[in-house]
Structures are given as C-alpha cells and as structure tokens.
Amino acid sequence: MQADRNVYVEQVDKWYPGGVHAVKSMNMTIIDGEFLVFVGPSGCGKTTLLRMIAGLEQISGGVIKIGERVINKVPPKNRDIAMVFQNYALYPTMSVFENIAFPLKMRKMRKNAVRSAVENVSGKMDIVEYLARRPNALSGGQRQRVALARAMVRQPKLFLMDEPLSNLDAKLRVNMRREIVSLHRDLGVTTVYVTHDQTEAMTMGTRIAVMKDGVLQQIGTPREIYAAPANLFTALFIGSPPMNTWDGELTSIDGQNYFSFGKSLFPLTGGIPGAPFNIPITIGIRPEHILFAYDNDEHSIAAQIENVENTGRESLVFLNVPDMPVGLTVAAASDFNGKAGDSVRICINPEQLHFFNMITGERM
C-alpha cells in the first residue's frame, strides 16, 4: 500500500505582533503530485502560508501534516522540502556547480555522486555550459534555472515556489512558465506555487487556491473557478478582462425575463431556470458572453462605444448603456471595426449569467 504523501493544512492560523491575523483558520489538502497555485492580492497571506509549510514561519494555531506526520515543529531541513525564492537566493561567491551541489554536500554525499547528480539536473535545465560561472555572470532567466536546479537536485517530496518569475521580463516569464510546468510533468513532484498574477495561476495550476485577507475563498481547477466562482471577489479577481458586474434584480413580465434597474428594464433572451427573481442581487457576466446583435433583434440592448482596445488577439470594446449604472466590457474578435462614439446593439446570454448575494458577495 502506497504511503500517504498528501499535505494537510488543518485550521491553521498565523498571528503577528500588533494583532495582525495573516492566515485565518486555513483548511486545505494538497494532493500528492499536483501543481497547486496560491493566488491573491498582496497581503492576502499566500506567502505566509507557504512559509509555514516550509517551516520558515512558526504556526500560531492548527496543524500541518505530510501524510500522517505532523510537521509543526519539524525543522525545515528535516521536512524534505525544496523552496525556490523570488530573489533566487544563490550564493554569489560560489559557481553554478557549487550552488547546485550545496544541498548534496550538506548531506555529505560522495563527490562522484554529487557530480553525477549536478550534471544530470543541469542537463534537464539546459545550464551545463554555465556550471563554471558565478551567478552575477548570468541573466535573470539563467539564475532562475540554477535556483530550480538546486531545488530539483535534492529530489524532495515537495517543491515550494514563492513568486519565482516576478523579476523576469514578460517574454521570459511566459517561457519559464512552460518550463516549470513541463518540469513538474516530468518529475511528478507535488508543487505549491505562489503568485499574485491570475494569468500565471490559470495557465500553470492543476488546481488554484484563491485567497483574500488570510481566508481561502475557493479551491478548484482553473476551469471550475472561472466558470463557477464561489463569490464576487473570485469572480472579479480571476479573468482578464474581469467579469462585468452590476446590482439589480431579475424580473419576469408575461413570460419575458428582464434585468431591472430602478424603473429601467433590459430584455433577456430565453429562460433562466433556478434564477433568483425579484430580490436584490449582484449580476455578473464574462466579457466574451456579451454578443453584438442586429438592429432588428427585439431582445437586444442599445449601447454606445466609449473606447476600443485592440490587443491583436481580440478587441476589448468598452460600452456605455443608457440608464445602466455601469459600463460594460465586451471581448470581440480582433477584426472588430467599431470605433468610439458608434451606436451598437448587444445581446446578453442568460445561460452565462452569474448571481451573487448583494450583501455577502456569495454565489447564489
């Protein structure tokens, strides 16, 4: 029977002096072999939680386990965990070879075994030609590869990565994202990755844990979180451009469904089974689920283009809708030819609407 290698975070709290409650009653299971991304705005507690798992921060309350083993008071060096930091944390006076070999030498491995292990991992990271150099002679991307190689060479049970790509330029970040995901696929080692970049989270994680103010908002696959956000915060944080949202009600008159804003009614096509009618709610819809309509479509809504941003891949069209309390963003095709000031008509797909409690922000 295979040993349990999941990581269990059970009712974990972190308090700092001055009454700062950085992590609040955190519960999650990190599944053996997965790539779990902690994502959220600065100060949400994601790095603090990562450092508690690593043993670099003391736990104020609760339990962290690897399998059945409680590791609350286990020193970092005895947790069989490798961590990759935002600033690489390489030794500047050592060569690349010596940096990668350092954790093996600390284990007092034989020289031949150390050399073999370093050469093997350097080949995987494509840094063999840099082994004799020192870190200050390397680019940011090369240093990040060295930091990853130093973590890999230990063959740990768990990789922890704290915003490892934030110091790289945009193009290199995209390349390194692919390399890290490919590395995880090859090694199969459980990886926990911290980022504030929702695009990184969506493209890298097998699952995502969304955090805010030290509280876990939602955990699930990227598709689950994007399609069914648990609350308004998650709906707005995940997705670029963000979800359109506004406060109002759903109303049905003579079998026709409408958005209601005070005395203004906006028609919807089709039925909305199980929708919360005639109560105050926050309504949301993704920009790609608003469609441009023909002038003679009786269910369409009149709008005026405020601005168009063409990204090359798509056109983001920002609309003003008469009597509507907020503007709308529509994700259109890259060849969209409308311009600021043009009058257009739009249709909103009711099957793609999201409903949130206006007071609590929770999904309805």
CATH number of the domain that residue 332 is part of: 2.40.50.140
Query: How much is the pLDDT for 270?
Result: 66
Q: Cβ(328)–Cβ(303) under 8 Å?
A: yes
Query: How much is the pLDDT for 262?
Result: 65
Amino acid at 212: K
Query: How much is the pLDDT for 159?
Result: 92
Together in a domain, 206 and 306: no
Query: How much is the pLDDT for 52?
Result: 97
| Residue 319, C-beta contacts closer than 8 angstroms, at least 6 positions apart | 303, 304, 305, 306, 327, 328, 329, 330, 344, 346
| Residue 204, C-beta contacts closer than 8 angstroms, at least 6 positions apart | 35, 37, 177, 180, 181, 193
Domain assignment present for 363: no
DSSP 198: H
User: What is the domain count for the chain?
Assistant: 2
- Kindly give the parts of the chain with pLDDT less than 50: none
Together in a domain, 213 and 97: yes
Together in a domain, 64 and 90: yes
Partner residues linked to 160 by β-bridges: 83, 192
**Residue 23: which CATH number?**
3.40.50.300
Q: 3-class SS at 288?
A: helix
The C-alpha atoms of residue 150 and residue 264 are separated, in whole angstroms, by: 62
Domain assignment present for 362: no
Together in a domain, 250 and 206: no
Got the DSSP string for 224-247? Answer: HHHHS-SBHHHHHHSSSSPPEEEE
Query: How much is the pLDDT for 269?
Result: 67
Q: Cβ(154)–Cβ(104) under 8 Å?
A: yes
Range of the domain at 42: 7-237
Q: End of a domain among 215, 237, 259?
A: 237
